[in-house]
A = this chain, B = another copy of it.
Amino acid sequence: MSSFPAGPVLVIGCGLIGTSVGLALSARGAIVHLQDALPANVELAVSRGAGTAAAPASDPVLVVVAVPPAMVVDVVAAALDIWPSSLVTDVASVKSGIQAAISLLPGASRYVGGHPMAGSERSGPMAASAQLFEGRPWAVTPAPATEPAVRDTVVDLALLVGAVPMIMDAAAHDRAVALVSHVPQVMSVLTAARLNDAPEAHLDLAGPGLRDVTRIAGSDTSLWLDILGSNAADVRLVLEQVRDDLDRVIETLGHDEEGLVEVLESGRRGTTLIPGKHGTMPTDLESVYVQVADTPGQLSRLMADAGESGVNIEDLRLDHDLGRAVGLAEIAVAAGLSSTLVEALIARGWSAYR
């Protein structure tokens, strides 16, 4: 890793992402200057240790623009103008439109787009954390005219704060996030929206599957309005393919098993393509179910007993049972190890099964 940063960094926008960048860089000894249209945000970020409110004495090495997406182009333009030797990046979640607008500016070659994939469901400087980017992808989207120096600097920034830099062009990035983030968000919303007309008793039949599918539908509306609007073309393209499949399900339901099987199998195949932990496919895991009383210390005892079995816990979910003070813990372990864990837990008095 290089010795980035070789001088002060300026973060413009002290929301969740900007303040987290400030915290992560400050924690590693960098000089960070902070700006925000709201002085209260700067004060909060400074009080949390994200940097200083003082203006940079000379051109910063890097300017990180972390303002709301609609303001990014104007703020990047101003930064390129005010600090003629600074490199500039942003953190907006959709890249092509911003890049196209900036490419027309003087100094555009000193800018590269970036997108740390972290923390979209919380906001504000108080939610910020120096650890926010640990292990998260950080997309870096150079244009043909981008100077290698700014691309490399943002890659160094991402590495320094613990993220995994992924270099891709802006159009590919926007297609990718449409597929893995924006369309799943819409699908979750569409599923949750149908619940509004249901009698309450019907919803009492809800299980963990419904909660999984609809969890992200509870996210902030204005944020998603902005994201979906900025990536409208790519999102629409995928949603039209979804509609084709949906039409096919509606048509085949109840009388064309073959057509329905094709859609179901296509979904099943799709789930195997999602990278799991360290590249482990979800199919390589087995589940163990354990009843856990809803009192402090129970999960602790369970994890201690599981730990003593020597079987590593790959994933863990808690599922709340209906109308009683007991939860069901689903523990995922590597294939072949579930019996070992079940036996170990039963021997220690747990109600466990595969």
Which residues of A approach B to under 8 Å, CB–CB? 117, 122, 126-127, 129, 131-132, 134-137, 139, 164, 166, 168, 172-173, 175-177, 179-181, 183-196, 198-207, 209-219, 221, 224-225, 228-229, 232-233, 235-236, 238-243, 245-247, 249-250, 253-255, 257, 260-261, 263-278, 282-283, 287, 289, 291, 294-297, 299-300, 302-304, 306-307, 310-313, 315-318, 320-328, 351, 353-354
Contacts and interface: CB of A to CB of B under 8 A. Distances in A.
Nearest to A23: B353
A41 to B, nearest CB: 17
B201 A179 contact: no
A265 B306 contact: no
Given A218-B282, A236-B253, A273 B213 contact: no
A196 B260 contact: no
Given A136-B207, A193-B270, A195-B271, 12 more contacts: A122-B354, A131-B291, A134-B324, A176-B199, A179-B195, A180-B205, A186-B249, A187-B187, A192-B266, A239-B253, A277-B294, A277-B327
A322 B275 CA distance: 8
Contacts of A289: 129, 131
B291 A134 contact: yes
A220 to B, nearest CB: 9
A187 B191 contact: yes
Given A205-B139, A213-B216, A232-B253, A131 B193 contact: no
Contacts of A228: 253, 260
Given A177-B205, A190-B246, A322-B136, A196 B164 contact: no
Contact of A261 (B126, B203, B221): B221
A321 B135 contact: yes
A191, A200, A306, A312 pick with most chain B CB within 10 angstroms: A191
A181 B194 contact: no
A351 B131 contact: yes
18 contacts: A135-B323, A180-B202, A180-B207, A183-B194, A188-B209, A194-B241, A196-B273, A203-B275, A209-B215, A213-B213, A217-B268, A221-B264, A225-B264, A235-B253, A240-B250, A243-B247, A276-B320, A304-B304
Nearest to A233: B254
A200, A241, A283, A353 pick with most chain B CB within 10 angstroms: A353
Contacts of A243: 243, 246-247, 250
Contacts of A257: 225, 229
A353 to B, nearest CB: 4
A273 B131 contact: no
B323 A278 contact: yes
A168 to B, nearest CB: 6
Contacts of A321: 134-136
Contacts of A320: 276-278, 315
B261 A225 contact: yes
A278 B316 CA distance: 21
A131 to B, nearest CB: 5
Given A176-B202, A271-B217, A236 B264 contact: no
Contact of A274 (B214, B265, B306, B318): B214
Given A203-B273, A214-B271, A164 B254 contact: no
Contacts of A213: 184, 187-188, 212-213, 216
